[in-house]
Amino acid sequence: MNVLGIETSCDETAVSIVRDGRFVLSNIVSSSIKFHKKYGGVIPEIASRLHLETIGYVLDESLKESKVNLEDIDLVAVTSQPGLKGSLLVGGCFAKAIAFALNIPLLKVDHLHAHIYAAFLVFGAIKEVPKPERLFPFIGLVVSGGHTSLFYVKDFTKIEPLGSTLDDACGEAFDKVAKILNLGYPGGPLIEKLAKRGNSQKVRFGTIRTQRPLDFSFSGIKTAVLYMIENKFKIKGRKALSFNEKRDIAASFQEAVIESLIEKAFLACRKKGAHILVIGGGVAANNRLREKFSQKANLENLTLYTSALEFCTDNAAMVGGLGYMLFKRGRIKNLVNN
């Protein structure tokens, strides 16, 4: 079965063809990030207009790469939530038009659930991927620019939310701290690069305790970074940080965020008696995070599945893949007329 996946929830216009829910035949992502960079964040109106301009070309490219004809598509899956309203609308209408024209079913997919599903996609050199249905139940952790959420995944139709961020998402915290350090946008990869040779023990940034232990809070740590720098300036009468200071702050901040994610994710596993943890979302592309989670999983005797790098940030393969799974499980309530 050939599934056409469509993703437009933020600044990426993405179209993918996925066979039988696992085999990614094409994965085209066009990002409008360069148009948002100067604002230091995604501007919804610009994003939705650019989706509209780009999506037809992205579809053509995706079909070309997959060598599948449009008429050979059996199902359309599109991200329906959460995301920027205007951007979701473009993808949703485009998906509806294709499904209607081809007279094939259309399924709506939750973006966060799709980020978890991304760990099970087979693509290029990535072959050693288990089928998710053999792993249920497991804990899913989504770490992205807009969300930080823990789920108990009994099946892809039975996903129970366990906790989420009360303020900033962890990717958002990376972006804001990068802004404070004058690094640019998006901040995650820039902080990671800078942190590589930094001393993560130089500053102890802590995250705030949340009332519910499986919730997250990252706004305090961002403010702590800001105050620490302001104090440094006040005391030393300087106006800029040295390169070494910047990289120590980046490394210390990154370490504190990862520590908080590890603490909550493994607590969720213990609470639910789960032996498998699956991580997805843009921040899961962070190599230090991958390394530390993997060390902890070994220590705790847990199995860890992390999305391949190309499927961490927003893409449509994860949407097509999950769409297939839901369709096979009889999700017909979400079809084109509903």
Choose from ligand KG4, Zn ion, none: what does 132 bind? Cβ within 5-8 Å by kind.
none
Our CB check for ligand KG4 shows the closer of 131 and 197 to be 197
Instruction: Name the minimum Å distance from CB 30 to ligand KG4.
Output: 13
Q: Which is nearer to ligand KG4, 99 or 112 (CB)?
A: 112
CB 203 within 8 A of CB 252: yes
Amino acid (one-letter) located at 103: N
Nearer to ligand KG4, 14 or 55 (CB): 14
The residues in 139-198 that bind Zn ion, with binding defined as CB under 5 A, are 144
H/E segment holding residue 166: none
Footprint on this chain of ligand KG4 (rule: CB under 6 A): 10, 144-146, 171-172, 174-175, 186-189, 192, 281-283, 285-286, 313-314
**Rounded to whole angstroms, what are the CA distances from 314 to 281, 298, 307, 326?**
7, 28, 11, 19
Q: Is 36 helix (H, G, I), strand (E, B) or coil?
A: helix
The one of ligand KG4, Zn ion, none whose footprint includes residue 186, by CB under 5 to 8 A per kind, is ligand KG4
Min CB(337)–Zn ion separation in Å: 28
CB 41 within 8 A of CB 35: no
3-state DSSP assignment of residue 83: coil
Instruction: Decide if 293 contacts 263 (C-beta within 8 A).
Output: no
Task: Residue 171: count other Cβ atoms within 10 Å of its Cβ.
Answer: 26
Find the shortest distance in angstroms from Cβ 142 to Zn ion: 8
How many residues belong to the chain? Answer: 338
Please list every residue from 309 through 328 that binds Zn ion, using CB under 5 A: 314
Is 99 or 195 the residue whose CB approaches ligand KG4 more closely? 195
Contact present, 331 and 293 (Cβ < 8 Å): no
CB of 190 to ligand KG4, least distance (A): 8
Encoded amino acid at 24, one letter = V
Q: Which is nearer to ligand KG4, 92 or 187 (CB)?
A: 187
Neighbours of 170 (CB within 10 A): 28
Q: What are phi and psi of 286, to 5 degrees?
A: -70, 120
By CB under 5 A, the count of residues binding Zn ion is 2
With CB under 5 to 8 Å by kind, the binding choice for 198 among Zn ion, ligand KG4, none is none
Judged by beta carbon distances under 5 to 8 A according to partner kind, the member of Zn ion, ligand KG4, none in contact with residue 283 is ligand KG4
Query: Footprint of Zn ion on this chain (CB under 5 A)?
Result: 144, 314
